[in-house]
Amino acid sequence: MEGVYFSEPRLLWLVPLILIGGAASLRWEKNRLLVLSRTAIFVLLVVALANPYVTVTETTEARRPIITVVSDLTASMEIFDRNAAARVHADLPDSQIRTFSGMSTPLGDKILQYAQPGGALLLVTDGYSNQGRDVEEALALARSANTTVFALEMVPTRNDYSVEISGTNTAVLGGDYPFTVVVRSSGGEFQGQLTVRADNSVIYQGRISGEGRSASVKISHRFPSTGTHHLEAAISFPQDATGENDRYQKAVYVVPKPEVLLVAEGSSPLSQVLTDHYRLTVEPAFRRDLLGEGGKRFKAVILDDQKYHPELVGLRDYVREGGGLVVVGGRDSYEFGDYRNSSLEDILPVRSVPSIFEGGKTTVIVMDISGSTRGEMVVGGATFLDYEKSLAIELLKSPEFRDDRVALVVFGTEAFVVFTPILIPGREMMISDRISSLSPQAGAQEESQMDIGLALAWDILNSTGGDGEVIVISDGRIREYPEVFEESARMIRDMEATVHLVEVKSFESSPGSFRDLASRSGAGYHSAVYPGSVTIRAEDRPAEERPPEVDEEEVSAGGYSLSILNQNHYITADLTIAANATGFNDVTPKSGSQKLVAMLDGKPIVTTWRYGLGRVAAVTTDDGSAWAPELYSAENSKLPSRTVNWAIGDPRPEAGRIDAEDGWERSPLEIMITSPSPPNLGSAQVDKVGENRYRAVITPDSRGIYTVGDYGIAVNYPLELRDVGSNPEFSRQIMASGGMLFSEDEVGRRLVEEARKKSEITTQNRVSRRWYLLFAALAIFLAEVTVRRLREVKR
């Protein structure tokens, strides 16, 4: 039976009052017909005012959807067949073609420009966008406007290669300046020659090869003097279609060694590392006056195994105003140094209490985006998919998942991976955006590939060692597909991982088959009733995921092995460490901090965060004199030096500072200048953006090294030529928005039919039933009046 709901259910409280009043009136009113009819009329009117309604599902489709072929003829498309768009346009009846060209690709803008409600776009492009609106955002907006976006599979007909230097724009005099040369290929195996020069002197020359889309070479160099220095990377490949992107320049501004204060009571391996890189001042105890007037004398302060004392309160303002702080552990620091609940602990990214490790696994979220998730939940107007997305985002914010690597798989008529395992810290916004942009797959009522989604999740776990868990979030309507149900149950039973089934519902009694699937497969079952939440707690995880017991004899012999948890941070990027520590300070990272290095059981060793304008790092093993000598030797010493470099930030003086990244020909270049007076940059417009802060934007029309004062800025080939070949992420973006990819042979046979199917719109509309009640009230009134008139006539 069709469910009936009310827009204003509070008015229904008047019904019993009317009935009570009617019953009382019958006792003294002789005309009982009048009382009964008026009572019925008032009840019907009140119920009509409460606006009863039912939800009706309607599906509409376009018989001949408008198909627009969008042809990308920008410079990066020179290595593809430029006539492909014209051929597919000829194969599509009643289609239209739109082209754009130039030295930039505003692909997101073009998607929105040509999107039409109920229509379809066929993109003939390499999938790269370097101007205007983000492609994923544009695809989501187009989908919300009921435009389906398809893409043509593009394969380069010629080979192309590009080169780029990745590294900071500043270096310290006499210190190692690490940088990476990245060579990109349009695809397949490649082999060529790479030459790198520093100030016109060759510092690297050799062959570079790879199989796939890119290869990189890590190089380190020391500059002999301060000021602007030039790096240049050049490549040479046979059959290279474009020579413009074979040379890349980088300007590096070299500054004197920054001044650093080390508070330590004696010599240690840490002090030796710092002496090689900075102008070091060593003091046995910290005093506020050491920071100098205005607290600007030192770029960073390192506390080496120092007990807490009141003078350390002065570090709060120092860090808040932009200073760097590194606190190194030992037998007199953290939990041994009275840091707990002190003013120093307020600044630190950790609390001096033992930590409990709850993660380190791979978690795969498998979400249902089939057509049934378009349905509107009774309360609030949210759809099932909206609720699924909010649950997934909420789950990943839980502390139990903080140390996990998370991946996202979706299934409907098709199943695919949205993103592969990544660490959550630092990626929260990206993960939330990816989940929020999901939309239901059109036509998914006909099929649900949950079993394929589970297979993809199992493949991900296998590729990471098979140790982890799977969380499936769905409306639970899988019994409609018996083969998929049976295969999913079998797959969960055979899967060597913990599986949780989360079933989203409008009401607790709402139908669903996830409970049956859980009982058949042994998976955990969780019911999520809108608008409540579900939390998969640490207690729900199996015992084997608990931290392993520590063998004290093993620790005393070899120590605790250290590992890098986050390779996306400046400190740990492209870094490898092979070190053990025989001791550590047991601390707990604070919310908002980043745990970069830890022991195998998850205990943090290097944790960072921002405090005000400054940067703070907590190193929770010692300075190498007792617990961790391996951490300060050979290649491992890059970790402590990078930690201090990160805390320092920009080693240049505050006054007269210029900030600008490498530029691209014909692309806007932003320059930030710190100066007590407005700078003069010729014809460029300069805007004041803060106290002693100015901003200028120029668009260079040629390549080379531009100078502002003594600061050099390198301008290279147009950005359009950096990314070559087809974008490997583009197919995922298209499929995540509900579209598909077609080869040229498939376009004429399948695209029109798919466009028609995907143009279907299934909506749940509220249909009011108040008019039936109003007509019934009117009918009763007319009948009552008629009866009374007939009685009067008879009398």
Structural tokens at position 38: 């008026």
Residue 198: the pLDDT is 96
Same domain assignment for residues 238 and 372: no
Whether 543 is covered by a domain: the verdict is no
Model pLDDT for residues 18-54, shown as the tens digit of each residue: 888 888 887 777 777 788 888 888 889 989 898 888 8
Q: Report the DSSP beta bridge partners of residue 206.
A: 194
Same domain assignment for residues 481 and 562: no
Quote the CA–CA distance of 762 and 57 in Å, as a whole number. 7
Contact by Cβ (8 Å): 196, 163? no
Confidence label for 412 from pLDDT (cuts 50, 70 and 90): confident
Whether 118 is covered by a domain: the verdict is yes
Quote the CA–CA distance of 206 and 645 in Å, as a whole number. 30
More confident residue, 747 or 349: 349
Residue 725: the pLDDT is 92
Same domain assignment for residues 250 and 263: no
Question: What average pLDDT does range 316-330 have in this prediction?
Answer: 93
More confident residue, 442 or 637: 637
From edge to edge, which strands make up the β-sheet containing 686-690? 658-659, 669-674, 693-698, 686-690
Contact by Cβ (8 Å): 639, 606? yes
Tell me the three state secondary structure of residue 32: helix
Which CATH number belongs to the domain containing residue 577 in this structure? Answer: 3.40.50.880
Confidence label for 546 from pLDDT (cuts 50, 70 and 90): very low
Backbone conformation region of residue 241, classed left if phi is above 0, alpha if psi is from -120 to 50, else beta: alpha
Contact by Cβ (8 Å): 724, 161? yes
Angle 693-697-698 (CA atoms, 0-180°, nearest 5)? 140
What residue ranges in 675-747 does DSSP mark as E strands? Answer: 686-690, 693-698, 704-708, 711-716, 741-742
Structural tokens at position 299: 């770029």
Question: What average pLDDT does range 213-224 have in this prediction?
Answer: 90
Confidence label for 508 from pLDDT (cuts 50, 70 and 90): low
Structural tokens at position 773: 């009640």
* Residue 598 identity (one-letter amino acid): A
Structural tokens at position 9: 């259910």
Whether 168 is covered by a domain: the verdict is yes
Query: Residues 703-708: contacts with CB within 8 Å, 24+ apart?
Result: 703/249, 703/665, 704/249, 705/228, 705/230, 705/249, 705/251, 706/663, 707/228, 708/658, 708/660, 708/671, 708/673, 708/679, 708/681
Model pLDDT for residues 143-196, shown as the tens digit of each residue: 888 888 999 999 999 999 999 999 889 988 888 888 999 999 998 889 999 999
Quote the CA–CA distance of 533 and 511 in Å, as a whole number. 18
Same domain assignment for residues 391 and 506: yes
Quote the CA–CA distance of 606 and 735 in Å, as a whole number. 39
Quote the CA–CA distance of 140 and 369 in Å, as a whole number. 14
What residue ranges in 371-440 does DSSP mark as E strands? Answer: 405-411, 415-423
Whether 529 is covered by a domain: the verdict is yes
Quote the CA–CA distance of 40 and 706 in Å, as a whole number. 87
Model pLDDT for residues 330-350, shown as the tens digit of each residue: 999 999 999 999 999 999 999
Helix axis angle for 450-463 and 482-494, nearest 10°, is: 20
Which CATH number belongs to the domain containing residue 472 in this structure? Answer: 3.40.50.410
Whether 542 is covered by a domain: the verdict is no
Quote the CA–CA distance of 534 and 502 in Å, as a whole number. 8
Same domain assignment for residues 347 and 395: no
Domain boundary among 593, 623, 648: 648
Whether 653 is covered by a domain: the verdict is no
Same domain assignment for residues 278 and 195: no
Model pLDDT for residues 103-127, shown as the tens digit of each residue: 999 999 999 999 988 789 999 999 9
Structural tokens at position 241: 């279609």
Residue among 41, 33, 52 at smallest CA distance from 15: 41
Average pLDDT along the chain: 85
Residue 442: the pLDDT is 57
Residue 312: the pLDDT is 92
Quote the CA–CA distance of 732 and 331 in Å, as a whole number. 51
Q: Write the DSSP assignment of 508-574 as a string of letters.
A: TT---SHHHHHHHHT-EEEEEETT------GGGS-GGGSPPPP-HHHHHHH-EEEEES-TTSTTTTT
Q: Report the DSSP beta bridge partners of residue 416.
A: 410
Same domain assignment for residues 49 and 109: no
Quote the CA–CA distance of 45 and 48 in Å, as a whole number. 5
Structural tokens at position 173: 């005099």
Number of domains in the chain: 6
383 DSSP 8-state letter: B
Q: Which helix (H) or strand (E) holds 609?
A: strand 604-611
Model pLDDT for residues 570-585, shown as the tens digit of each residue: 898 778 888 999 999 9
Question: Radius of gyration over alpha carbons of the chain, in Å?
Answer: 34
Q: Is the pLDDT of residue 555 over 50?
A: no
Q: Which helix (H) or strand (E) holds 670?
A: strand 669-674
Same domain assignment for residues 401 and 478: yes
* Residue 77 identity (one-letter amino acid): M
**Is the pTM higher than 0.85?**
no
Quote the CA–CA distance of 704 and 14 in Å, as a whole number. 81
Quote the CA–CA distance of 165 and 171 in Å, as a whole number. 15
Same domain assignment for residues 52 and 12: yes
Residue 225: the pLDDT is 93
Whether 509 is covered by a domain: the verdict is yes
Tell me the three state secondary structure of residue 113: helix
The residue segments making up the domain with residue 219 are 161-255
Which CATH number belongs to the domain containing residue 176 in this structure? Answer: 2.60.40.10
Confidence label for 472 from pLDDT (cuts 50, 70 and 90): very high
More confident residue, 387 or 72: 72
Owner of token pair 């004062």: 709
Whether 329 is covered by a domain: the verdict is yes
End-to-end alpha-carbon separation of the chain, Å? Answer: 47
Query: Residues 374-379: contacts with CB within 8 Å, 24+ apart?
Result: 374/440, 374/762, 375/57, 375/475, 375/764, 376/55, 376/764, 377/506, 377/530, 378/3, 378/5, 378/55, 378/506, 378/507, 378/530, 379/506, 379/530, 379/531
Domain boundary among 648, 673, 692: 648
Same domain assignment for residues 744 and 768: no
Model pLDDT for residues 748-762, shown as the tens digit of each residue: 778 877 777 766 555
Domain boundary among 514, 537, 560: 537
Contact by Cβ (8 Å): 304, 262? yes
Same domain assignment for residues 379 and 508: yes
Confidence label for 357 from pLDDT (cuts 50, 70 and 90): low
Question: What average pLDDT does range 707-725 have in this prediction?
Answer: 93
Contact by Cβ (8 Å): 243, 206? no
Q: Which helix (H) or strand (E) holds 615?
A: strand 614-619
Phi, psi of 517 (to 5 degrees): -65, -40
Quote the CA–CA distance of 307 and 553 in Å, as a whole number. 29
Same domain assignment for residues 384 and 523: yes
Quote the CA–CA distance of 462 and 460 in Å, as a whole number. 5
